[in-house]
Amino acid sequence: MPAQPAPRSFSTAFGLLMAAAVAVPADGPALVAAALAATGVLAGLMVRPVSSAAVLAAAAALALSDPAPAYAALAGLSATAYLVIRHAVETPAVVTTTVPSMACAVGFSVVVLTAAMVPLSVRWLPLLVPVAVAVLYVLVVRPFVRESTWGSGRRM
């Protein structure tokens, strides 16, 4: 089995980058949440489940502040890399930092950042997005589900 290419130090670096990205635009309660995120990253070195709480604290810091889209995208990408690497460090037989997983994380971050920077004011768009996501989900999952699950038009 190949070993995990990114050690615990990489996960800690990404976690601290996540905390720094949410701390820059923060003030007041958001700054406290960012400090909790950084503390959670360091505590996550000893107790792995605390790393998930650190990401939740970073999300709270983003929700309590009004960050620029670039800070939110950097924090999200760093949080993704942090959790993917951190949870795989304990089990070296599982390799999570593959090219497809990292390419998807970076690709989705670029798409979201681009979408956030495009000034679009369509009032009905938030009503269409959940329907579009549900349709895309069905189209993506359909090849992986047995035909009998979708029904073949026969009555039982």
Write the pLDDT tens digit of every residue in 6-26. 577 888 999 999 999 999 988
Q: How confident is the model at residue 1 (pLDDT cuts 50, 70, 90)?
A: very low
112 vs 41, higher pLDDT: 41
pLDDT tens-digit map of 93-108: 777 778 888 888 899 8
pLDDT tens-digit map of 64-74: 998 888 999 99
pTM over 0.75: no
Most confident residue range from 74-78, 105-109, 143-147, 152-156: 74-78
Q: Concatenated DSSP letters for the chain?
A: -PPPSS-HHHHHHHHHHHHHHHHTT--THHHHHHHHHHHHHHHTTT-TTHHHHHHHHHHHHHHHS---HHHHHHHHHHHHHHHHHHHHHS-TT-----HHHHHHHHHHHHHHHHHHHS----TTHHHHHHHHHHHHHHHHHGGGS-HHHH--S---
d(C-alpha 62, C-alpha 99), whole Å: 28
Sequence ranges of the domains in the chain = 8-121
The residue type of 95 is V
